[in-house]
Structure 1
Amino acid sequence: MKISVKAPAKINLALDVLHKRDDGFHEVEMIMTTVDLADRVDLIELNEDSIAVEVSEGFVPNDERNLAYQAADVLKKRFQIKKGVSIYISKKIPVAAGLAGGSSDAAATLRGLNLLWNLELSDHELAEIGAEIGSDVSFCVYGGTALATGRGEIIKQIESPPPCWVVLAKPPIGVSTAEVYRKLNIDKAKESGVQPMLQAINEQNFDDICEHLSNDLESVTFKLHPEVKRIKEQMKRFGAEGVLMSGSGPTVFGLVKKESRVHRVYNGLRGFCGDVYAVRLISQGHPC
């Protein structure tokens, strides 16, 4: 039996870093939403007790370092599954881009194996398991739009923003999330970026959503990698209404209301950035 599961990318509309926790993680408040740029995860049950991972991109690990492998391993051990699984990941989401590609692959694996192995787990139960694998996996189990708190694993689903286009641009660099957090100077007096974003989404006000895009990690990544800041400036210049770096970067996204303007932004960025995508917001969560 074979099951194919879509694993969409996410962007951060708002990201507040509150403080460093005793466990070494940072306490955050984030609003995340999924976009229609997705990997595909194919799962085939094996009679032998093993996990095999194959990835379309050769530089992505196919062993226990892979989050999809870890997802399968956690389920096998927790529910004493004696059968194995072959996992094939067709990558479309850029790697190490701030778009949660690996986390989404893990979440898709959890959702798919829940069906393949007839575990009958709820999304909430899958999300709790996902939190053991990575902070973004819980959100990726649900999809749609959500407020994420804790270290990012406590998920409250909210209404999605009004439909719009999203242009994504990733420069050919990698960003260390750990280094960005390590160099972040947390300002306890700063205003929340999450609260005005929640209000803008609640009111379905596209202009206010663009106005209140915020990311506490952006300034750190800009200092480490000035080319990310240049992409943001170019995206604004080409006409995107709201522009922000996603996660710890280096991908920058632009929100665009009209399709006619999307082509201008997309084509302008293609001139100096290899990985550019024009996609839509996904308004709903996953069907399974």
Structure 2
Amino acid sequence: MVFFERAPAKINLSLDVLGKRDDGFHEVEMIMTAIDLVDRVELHALSGDHIEVSADNQYVPNDERNLAYKAALAFKNKYHINNGVRIEIEKNIPVSAGLGGGSSDAAAVLRGLNQMWSVHATLKELADLGECIGSDVPFCVYSTTALATGHGEKIHELVSPPFCYVVLAKPNIGVSTKTVFQKVNLDELHHPNTNKIIQAMEKGDFASLSSNIGNALENITFCLHPNVKRIKEKMVQAGAAGVVMSGSGPTIVGLVEHYSKAKRIYNGLRGFCEEVYIVRLLDRR
């Protein structure tokens, strides 16, 4: 028995940090949406009571450190499942990119096992289970457009953004989310206007959306990795309508209304950045 699940990447249209919590997490407010850059997850039923994981990327661990493995273990424990599964992951989402690839793989495992083992859990129940795996997993269970609050685990679905193309540029570096958050000084952050972004999406106003997207962590990552800032500057100069860093970086996201301009921006960045993509917004609804 084999089940297949798509695991879409996510991008941040906004990321704001509101404060430090008693549990060590930061209180955040993020608007995220899914894009059609997608990992492919296969679930194979095993006769024994164990979990195997295999990803076709040398930077992804094939053991209990993998979030997909953790998702399968959490699901088995939650619903008292004694069956085994082999998880095979075809990676298309860049690793350690601020695009939620590992979290989306974990969410795909939760959705897939829910079908494979006929548990009939709701998406809300799967999202609640995903909270213990990673902060982005609850959002990735839905893979729609949503406001995420708390430390990212509270999901409030929003209307989809107006249609556009998305140019992604990821430099060949890794960014430590933990290090970035350790350097957060609330008094020095530039806070995006979350409400204006939501209003722009509700009105289908691409211009307003593009002018209001923002990420409070950008300057921290830019100081740690100046090349990320240079990529953002080049994308702005190339004419992207709205440009923002996704997550804690290093991927820079550019919103573009027309494919012809997206292609020009893509071509301009290819000589400067190894991993560049043109994708579209994806809403599972």
TM-score higher than 0.5: yes
Q: How does 1:66-215 map to 2 (within 5 A)?
A: 66-187=66-187, 192-215=192-215
> Which residue number corresponds to residue 264 of structure 1?
264
| In structure 2, distance between residues paired with 1:79 and 1:39 | 26
> Which residue number corresponds to residue 23 of structure 2?
23
Tell me, yes or no, if the aligned pair for 2:30 and 2:148 is still in contact at 8 Å. yes
- Report the CA distance between 1:144 and its aligned residue: 1.2
State the TM-score, normalizing by the size of structure 2.
0.98
For structure 1, which runs of at least 5 residues remain unmatched after alignment? Answer: none
Cα gap change, 1:271/1:192 in structure 2, threshold over 3 Å: closer, same or farther?
closer
Deviations along 1:156-182, one digit per CA (max 9) or x if unpaired, are 101010110000000000000011011
Deviations along 1:183-223, one digit per CA (max 9) or x if unpaired, are 11112996552111111111110000000011000010000
Tell me, yes or no, if the aligned pair for 1:104 and 1:140 is still in contact at 8 Å. yes
> Which residue number corresponds to residue 42 of structure 1?
42
State the TM-score, normalizing by the size of structure 1.
0.97
- Report the CA distance between 1:82 and its aligned residue: 1.2
> Which residue number corresponds to residue 242 of structure 2?
242
- Report the CA distance between 1:17 and its aligned residue: 0.3
| In structure 1, distance between residues paired with 2:226 and 2:69 | 34
- Report the CA distance between 1:45 and its aligned residue: 0.6
Cα gap change, 1:166/1:267 in structure 2, threshold over 3 Å: closer, same or farther?
same
Q: How does 1:215-254 map to 2 (within 5 A)?
A: 215-254=215-254
| Farther-moved stretch of structure 1 (139-148 vs 183-192) | 183-192
Tell me, yes or no, if the aligned pair for 1:163 and 1:283 is still in contact at 8 Å. no
- Report the CA distance between 1:76 and its aligned residue: 1.0
- Report the CA distance between 1:272 and its aligned residue: 1.3
| In structure 1, distance between residues paired with 2:188 and 2:223 | 21
Q: How does 1:2-17 map to 2 (within 5 A)?
A: 2-17=2-17
Which residue type is aligned with residue 274 of structure 2? G
What is the CA RMSD across the aligned residues, in angstroms?
1.2
Tell me, yes or no, if the aligned pair for 1:239 and 1:264 is still in contact at 8 Å. no
- Report the CA distance between 1:255 and its aligned residue: 0.3
Q: How many residues align?
A: 285
Cα gap change, 1:210/1:2 in structure 2, threshold over 3 Å: closer, same or farther?
same
Tell me, yes or no, if the aligned pair for 1:165 and 1:258 is still in contact at 8 Å. yes
Superposed structure 1 runs of 4+ greater than 4 Å apart: 188-192
| In structure 2, distance between residues paired with 1:188 and 1:257 | 32
